[in-house]
Chain A
Amino acid sequence: MSASPIDLARPAARARPGLPRLSALPRPRLSLRLISPLVLLALWQITSSTGVLPERLLPSPATVAGTAVTLTADGTLIDAVTVSLQRAVIGFLAGAVAGLALALVAGLSRTGEGIVDPPMQMLRALPLFGLIPLFILWFGIGEIPKVILVAFGVLFPIYLNTYSGIRGVDARLAEVGQVLRLGRAALIRHIVLPGALPQTLVGLRQSLGVAWLALIVAEQVNASKGLGFMINDAREFLRIDIVVLGLLVYAILGLTTDALVRLLERRALSWRRGLVAT
């Protein structure tokens, strides 16, 4: 009882979960939402087939699809995706773990905040892609600089959001924990971490965007395998169809990870959904 409670700042103005949000408005049916992309795709194919859109600037969807089949069959595409995915996953995990750990240190104690937050705020101001030359000098052109660049990009969104999530935990709930005589560990587990989770998930989504972006840039600058290499290599031979295919694969990977996080959000934050149900 004599141990001082975790010093949580007073709740800042946060989004009230009780208020209806724009995203909660009924969305048009899926079939309806499919129409405009399909029309665009059809337009693309028609303009290509009629020669309005020259094949040497942008190949038709059919050409790109054919290339996809060929490259999948000979294993090129699978290999490239595997390598890129591996870099993204390792870099993401390293950055996320480091970001979470630092956020916990900074969020849960004033001393930790004093030590961790200032350098994080300073490093955050460094331009991510400006670091590439430095990373190449330090780590060469192998896998390490790419993974580190991804990790570095992921670190900050996770750190900043988790940290502010912890600080934003309702101080009144922390008092409840105190009154219920939760120990420090139980308070963190039952009140602080779940309270910070919504914000952490926001950080997770942001960081996934950054992760893919960092990977693409890193792979463009130097790589001997991976999606970026595939694209660069294709450029040398003016294989625009492969370039377009590579971009589409990046997009699909990005959308997939985003969907995974959204699924995670829906499950982890189901206590909020109750609001909508009433």
Chain B
Amino acid sequence: MATRTGGDVTGTVAEATGAAGSEDAASVVRTRGLTKKFGARTVLDGVDLDIERGEFVALLGRSGSGKSTLLRLLAGLDRDSTGDLHVDGTVSVAFQEPRLVPWKRVLDNVTLGLRGSDPVAAAERALAEVELTERRDRWPLTLSGGEAQRVSLARALVRNPDLLLLDEPFSALDALTRINVHRLVLDLWARHRPGVLLVTHDVDEALLLADRVLVLDGGRIAHQSTVGLPRPRAREDRELIELRSVLLARLGVTLEGTT
């Protein structure tokens, strides 16, 4: 899509709040030629990525493709990248493991670091949204995996993020719980309309949830598909099946082949 800026632009990493510096007010993420090296290994090699406010983008890639690195750069957890990286507004992250603070009760996990006039009321609303009101005083270690992940989502959403980063948050859930949490995430997304970047290796998940599916390969965005279907989507939908085989091929999986 967008043209690459020529050469290596040295790190102008701006995480401005407000619209300053961004040409397009609607985009929450804008990277150009984003490059990240760990030692001699180039993990990201010139990534151009735009995510608009309210847009749900899924990022697919094999393990080691750099998709988590890209997410960590956007979250501000990794640094020292080169190229342009603009993240506009507030960012929340839900990790693969729920990463609840075990010595804080559920409600205190949600309010942790929360500013505003009434953090407790906001946290209670967020817990109600993920249907965990009655778990507010429990210790995180007593929650089931699905419950913990929902608390993690509540903790991310209570901050009203402009950008929600999801780092394979469904991969540790059992299949039934996953269906429920998918539905919940779509609900919450529809209500709050943050820009979402979902990092996953599950093609079906990406197709069920996202407006746009990107494939990261060799450190760059090698492919993108737009999914125009209304939600909720069915896995059996013909268009989804076609897109799935395209994406799988892009990921190096051929359905007829041996591997």
Contact = CB atoms under 8 A, between A and B. Distances in A.
A178 B78 CA distance: 11
Contacts of A182: 112-113
A interface secondary structure, majority: helix
B189 interface: no
A173 B101 contact: yes
A178 B76 contact: yes
B interface secondary structure, majority: loop
B142 A179 contact: no
Given A1-B15, A275-B141, A179 B103 contact: no
Interface string B204-242: 000000000000000000000000000000000000000
Contact of A190 (B15, B101, B139, B140): B101
A172 B103 contact: no
Interface residues of A, number: 26
Nearest to B90: A181
B139 A274 contact: yes
A177 B155 CA distance: 12
A191 B155 CA distance: 16
Given A178-B77, A194-B103, A274 B142 contact: yes
A1 B113 contact: no
B78 to A, nearest CB: 10
B168 interface: no
A274 B112 contact: no
Interface stretch (B28-36, B91-99, B174-182, B195-203): B91-99
B113 A177 contact: yes
Contact of B97 (A18, A172, A271): A172
A180 interface: yes
Nearest to A178: B77
A186 interface: yes
B93 A179 contact: yes
Contact of B113 (A181, A194, A275): A181
B112 A172 contact: no
B104 A190 contact: yes
A6 B6 CA distance: 36
15 contacts: A1-B76, A172-B99, A176-B101, A178-B76, A178-B77, A179-B75, A179-B91, A180-B112, A180-B155, A180-B159, A182-B113, A194-B101, A271-B102, A271-B104, A278-B142
Interface of A: 1, 17-18, 172-173, 175-182, 186, 190-191, 194-195, 197, 270-272, 274-275, 277-278
Closest 9 CB pairs of A and B: A180-B113, A274-B139, A274-B142, A194-B103, A182-B113, A271-B103, A271-B139, A179-B93, A176-B99
